[in-house]
A and B are shown apart, each in its own frame.
Chain A
Amino acid sequence: MKIALINGSPKTSGSASGCILQNLRSLLDEEGSVIGEYHLKRPGVSAEEVAALGQSDALVFAFPLYVDGIPSHLLHSLVQLEQSLVKEKQETMVYALANCGFYEGHQNRWALAMMESWCSKAGLMWGQGIGIGAGGMLPAIQSVPLGYGPKKNFGKALQQLAANIANCSADENLFVTANFPKLVYKLAAEAGWVRSAKANGLRWRDLSLRR
């Protein structure tokens, strides 16, 4: 079975989407599938990428939530892919993992619904969507083993998804967040903005600048 893991974050490195796929890959590798990794970080998909994705049995997208939806560069690529894949009439399954900065995993619901709609327009089969809240934390807790501490529920969701991918089966969407208090997440993220601003030579009150 050929599985394509597609990172839809525009970040070259250090993306939460990359961490998510890395964690998922560790579960899929156990199943002995052939896994290809792709990074759609710019608008547009190359002819080689289109061909490779067209030959996969499962497409697994991981992307960040942007303004409640799919990031525009990825959307652009999906429109292009729809036009190519619809001609192939393959029985490809599609799975998607959307992660967001806000705490609640369900804030990804519309983006996942759009992926499902893309899937039916491209003539592919929808497998499952996972909406992940507090995604901003994932790169910072990369060393925490999957299924433990703040990654407890995230780990369970990935286990279920990996099993569904391996069986080419469809399932209900799942929504998870970090096993970590919301208030602490908020305070840590806000302290992070101040630290980053200071590293850029700004004062904390500059974060509130109006133009």
Chain B
Amino acid sequence: MRMIIHDLEQSDFQRLFSRPLNHTMVISPDATIRHCLGCFGCWIKTPGACVIRDGFGNMGEHLSKCSEVLVISQCCYGGFSPFVKNIFDRSISYVHPNFRNRNGEMHHKRRYKNTANLRVFFYGETITEGEETIARGLVAANALNLGWHAAEVSFSYDIAELEGRVG
């Protein structure tokens, strides 16, 4: 399965993805999403699921079925926008609490066996060169942390520039 995580207005999303999406789960901005409380309940109370049951509590399970994760996010200070970041924060049930060394650093053991290509499209009118460097470093760190492959990171001035590129 492919997952698309984005922070676009519905109309912009439809402009970018005008054809029907097969085998794709779309995570769209939703004001009712709650933020992670840092309780680790997704590891030690209900392992594999977030204890907040607001419709975003099963992100870890959904990610375990993905071979591609496509992210379209406004670039905020070199990272994701608050909504997209919230989705990542609410997804740590995807990994196991125990630690493993990767590249000489501490990371998490996997809970699931799948691996995914992470493709990230950042947009924004004021992205600086420094923020591009941060964003590339961040996506590489995310991929290492989640056991994925950072397949693509790109930057666009606006959403129109993404047309035809995110299919």
Do A and B actually bind? Answer: yes
Interface residue ranges, A against B (CB under 8 Å): 9-11, 15, 42-43, 64, 66-73, 75-76, 78-79, 102-104, 107, 109-110, 113-115, 117-118, 121, 182, 186, 189-190, 193, 196-197, 200, 202, 206-211
A114 with B77: in contact, given A72-B36, A182-B106 (CB under 8 Å)? Answer: yes
With A72-B35, A110-B141, A207-B96 already in contact, the answer to whether A121 and B47 are too (CB < 8 A) is no
User: Is A193 a contact partner of B44 (Cβ separation < 8 A)?
Assistant: yes
Do B85 and A69 touch across chains, with their CB atoms under 8 A apart? yes
Q: How far is the CB of B116 from chain A (nearest CB, A)?
A: 15
Measured between beta carbons, the chain B residues less than 8 angstroms from A210 are 48, 64, 111-112
Asked if residues A107 and B105 are in contact (CB atoms below 8 Å), the reply is: yes
Q: Give CA–CA (A174, B47) in the complex, Å.
A: 35
B138 and A68 form a contact (CB under 8 A): yes
Residues of chain A within 8 A of B83, CB atoms compared: 72
Distance of A196 Cα from B36 Cα, bound (Å): 19
Whether B138 lies near A43 (C-beta < 8 A) is no
In the complex, B45 has a CB within 8 A of chain A = yes
> B92: CB under 8 A from chain A?
yes
Q: How far is the CB of B105 from chain A (nearest CB, A)?
A: 5
| Stretch in contact with the other chain, from B15-23, B126-134, B159-167 | B126-134
Q: Chain B CB within 10 Å — which of A9, A11, A66, A78 has the most?
A: A66
Closest chain B CB from A125 CB (angstroms): 16
Task: Say whether B82 faces chain A, with CB atoms less than 8 Å apart.
Answer: yes
Known interface pairs A69-B79, A210-B112; A10-B37 also in contact (CB < 8 Å): yes
> Quick one: CB contact mask for B90-123 with A, threshold 8 Å, 1 for yes?
0110001111000001110001100000000000
| Contact A104–B106 (Cβ < 8 Å) | yes
CA distance A105 to B43 in the complex (A): 23
Q: Which residue of B lies closest to A189 (CB)?
A: B99
A115 to B88, CA, bound (A): 18
Binding site for A on B (CB under 8 A): 35-40, 43-45, 47-49, 58, 60-61, 64, 76-83, 85-86, 88-89, 91-92, 96-99, 105-107, 111-112, 126, 128, 130-131, 134, 137-138, 141-142, 145
User: Which of B39, B61, B138 has most A Cβ within 10 Å?
Assistant: B138
**Cβ contact within 8 Å between A68 and B145:** yes
B112→A42 contact, CB < 8 A: no
- Kindly list the 5 A-B residue pairs having the minimum CB-CB distance in the complex, ordered from nearest: A72-B86, A117-B77, A102-B106, A76-B82, A72-B85
Contact among B81, B89, B145 for A71, CB-based, below 8 A: B89
Q: Is the CB of A71 within 8 A of B35?
A: yes
Q: Is the CB of B82 within 8 A of A75?
A: yes
Q: Are A114 and B79 in contact (CB under 8 A)?
A: yes
A113 and B97 alpha carbons, distance in the complex (Å): 26
| Given known A102-B106, A114-B134, contact A197–B38 (CB-CB < 8 A) | no
The residue on B at minimum CB distance from A73 is B35
Contact A42 B97 (CB under 8 A): no
A117 touching B131 by the CB < 8 A rule?
A: yes
**Partner among B58, B85, B107, B138 whose Cβ is within 8 Å of the Cβ of A211:** B58
Q: Let me know if B47 and A197 touch, CB within 8 A.
A: yes
Q: Which residues of A contact B82 (CB under 8 A)?
A: 43, 72-73, 75-76, 79
Q: Check if B141 sits within 8 Å of A68, measured CB to CB.
A: yes
Q: Are B77 and A78 in contact (CB under 8 A)?
A: yes
Nearest-neighbour CB distance to chain A for B158, whole angstroms, equals 18
Return chain A residues, CB-CB under 8 Å to B85. 66-67, 69-72, 75
Q: How far is the CB of B97 from chain A (nearest CB, A)?
A: 5
A7 to chain B, nearest CB (A): 12
